[in-house]
A and B are shown apart, each in its own frame.
Chain A
Amino acid sequence: MDRRHPSVAAALALAVSFSAVAQEPLKIGFSMSLTGPLGGNGRAALLAMQMWAEDVNTKGGLLGRPIRLVYYDDQTNPANVPGLYTKLLDIDKVDLIVSSYGTNVIAPAIPIAMQRKMAFMTLFGTNPNAKFKYDRYFQIMPNGPDPAVGLTKGFFEVAMTMDPKPKTVALVGADAEYPHAALEGARTNVKAAGLQVLYDKTYPMSTTDFTPIVRAIQATNPDLVFVASYPPDSAGIVRAANEVALKTRQFGGAMIGVQYATLKTQLGPLLNGVVAWEVYAPEPTIKFPGVEEFLARYQPLAAAQQLDPLGFFLPPYAYAMMQIVGEAVQRVGKIDQAKIAEDIHSHEFTTVVGNVRFAKNGEWAEGRPLYVQYRGIRGNGLEEWKKPGHEVVLWPARWKSGDLLHPYDQHRK
């Protein structure tokens, strides 16, 4: 005979349910560039990750545990990263780790992840795992299994559609990890296209005036000018190209910064004619399920926090990265790094940036970097950039929304 009083049973039931709510949080640790040159992007990515954590927690958490994001500012400084990840794993005892934003700060975290055998989902690194070959490394930027080559391939495939075909190219980029990787990929594509390289140089990150560089490029008279740059230099080079009245058939490249509202609005019409790498464009051909809903939620939050008000570049991918980690953990049913990595390798994931399947090296099995041409920008406002027709997708063919306008110097304005 059960001698327990009904109120005791109710209390027990309450205690059981309370223990589920009061479960130890599932801690996801990462460093993030919240200050420094890439701080704006890092904060936008963090907002997207917080949105994901809130969404998951609203639905009861992951494995019945509430998500807690544990993060520290790496100041966009690679030297800070190893110490922060060691702290996350040894002091904070996080259950999972993901990366900060960008190649420069992902690369120094990989050895720590390898040492602790952690599954490591990363955010927009251009091939930092090439030398480590870590089998639990994953990367969310959609450049395909050979990221540096995939990142730059579109620029040259678009160029080779011109009639007559271009014969010469100038390559220029910043002295930093990402631009070096992008230029390396560009050289492979240049070779495959049979182009002659007339200029191939890098510049220091502290460069203030880019007009001498653009003039030196102009002096070689190349058919194509490919640039791999960070935000301030992207702005400087685009301005210099307009000031020098650069004469070339196609100008642009893998320029970081032109994807954000700040540079889009600052440069405005100066971007017309530029062929640039993007990962999202508000074109009718680009309709990933969920991305528009995500952006509709993200944009007001970003505006309130003085972050990138468009959010086309990093935020949807930061959210998708967390979706993948969450889905894998849910399917595995426990925190088992080997099984989580195995799960990510063996499944296709439906995310706000479309369906993602990973190749053996942790990159997207099938790449989807977009090359767009900016057109018809008349002012320095934000609204134009939200409408279709101003970032015409030229490549890949599956998402194409228009043809290349060339030469650059005639479509600059």
Chain B
Amino acid sequence: MSGPLFANALVSGLLLAGFYAAVSVGISIAFGMLDVVNIAHPAFIILGSYAASIANASMGADPIVTAVALSPAFFALGLLLYRFYHATFERRGREPLRGLAFFFGILFVTEVALILAFGVDYRSVTARYIGTTWRLGTVDLPLRLFVPFVVSVAMTLSLQVFLSRTFFGRAVLAVGQDQLALQLMGVDPVRIKQIAFGISIATAGVAGALLVIIQPVQPSLGREYIGLVFAIPVLGGMGSIAGTLAGAAILGVATSFTATFFGPSWAPAVSFGILLFALAFRPSGLFGR
């Protein structure tokens, strides 16, 4: 095992982890904190990719700038979606499996809407940094991966600070634990959940812009990420943003090391093996309570 190969594998793994964190932090909020099994999350990621790609093709807009600019729109979409979900399923106390079917439906509807509107061809973006690689000694730092890493870590840490330091953030954490207690304190848990779900969808929009920087996308690509977006929060500990970051780092580095030293076809088996092993010893995840 040569030093440069090891160092590059580590850096690649961390860069990949940044992207993994971006795609899964929204699930950590929706599934981990709000108990909403939003299996359509990857479809909103792809929606974010398409928004970034269209703005890039028509106006030359940078995907990151588009993602930030469109965050309020994705947030609003999340508010509406949660309101509908709450009115039709959650409030009526329907079994969770029906809610799951609802989000499956949203997944397929979003896919079909993208197909009808934009076709099925692969879409991508151009940006100056995409073809650039920084070389730090023997370590390569492709900006195509480094820029998404920086944005993702910034977004995830901001969320961590917001959720742990603000009254609203604590209310979001509380709503997943005891809604009645929250109501007794004069807080509307539905409103809290609605806003938190909006934040979750907004992160999906940003993750989509990061995805299309890394690779071309087509409407059904999101399905490839269903396993991953749930595995990372489960490994890190449901509802823990720091845990999501740690889970993403572990799976990202494991994927990179497996691909470099043992063969890439083993990467999913190793990643999910780690997940099973970790859950065997800590069923609530690494940072779970």
Report the nearest B residue to A199, measured CB to CB: B263
- Determine whether B122 belongs to the interface, using a CB cutoff of 8 Å to chain A: yes
- Interface set of A (CB-CB < 8 Å, partner B): 34-37, 39-40, 42-43, 75, 175, 201-209, 211-213, 215-216, 219, 231-232, 235-236, 239-240, 242-245, 257, 260, 262-263, 266, 269-270, 305-308, 380
- Complex CA gap A202/B269 in Å reads 14
- Determine whether B5 belongs to the interface, using a CB cutoff of 8 Å to chain A: yes
The one of B118, B256, B267 in contact with A204, judged by C-beta atoms closer than 8 angstroms, is B267
Q: List 5 A-B contacts (CB under 8 A).
A: A37-B220, A201-B263, A208-B19, A215-B8, A242-B133
One digit per residue, 1 when the CB lies within 8 angstroms of any chain A CB and 0 when it does not, for chain B 179-222 equals: 00000000000000000000000000000000000111011110
Chain A residue contacts of B257, Cβ below 8 A: 212
Chain A residue contacts of B131, Cβ below 8 A: 242, 269-270
Q: What 7 A-B pairs have minimum CB-CB distances, sorted nearest first?
A: A39-B120, A203-B264, A306-B119, A40-B121, A243-B142, A212-B259, A212-B260
Verify B12–A232 contact, CB threshold 8 A: no
CB contact under 8 A between A215 and B5, given known A262-B216, A263-B216:
yes
- Complex CA gap A402/B216 in Å reads 31
Chain A residue contacts of B218, Cβ below 8 A: 36-37, 39-40
Count residues on chain B whose CB falls below 8 Å from chain A CBs.
47
Chain A residue contacts of B15, Cβ below 8 A: 209
Verify B121–A239 contact, CB threshold 8 A: no
In the complex, which residues 242-273 of chain B have their Cβ closer than 8 Å to any Cβ of chain A? 255-257, 259-261, 263-265, 267-268
Verify A212–B119 contact, CB threshold 8 A: no
- Complex CA gap A212/B252 in Å reads 11
Chain A residue contacts of B256, Cβ below 8 A: 209, 212
Minimum distance in angstroms from B206 CB to a CB of chain A: 16
- Determine whether B145 belongs to the interface, using a CB cutoff of 8 Å to chain A: yes
Minimum distance in angstroms from A208 CB to a CB of chain B: 6
- Complex CA gap A20/B27 in Å reads 61
The one of B118, B219, B225 in contact with A35, judged by C-beta atoms closer than 8 angstroms, is B219
Verify A209–B16 contact, CB threshold 8 A: yes
Verify B140–A244 contact, CB threshold 8 A: yes
- Complex CA gap A242/B130 in Å reads 11
Report the nearest B residue to A215, measured CB to CB: B8
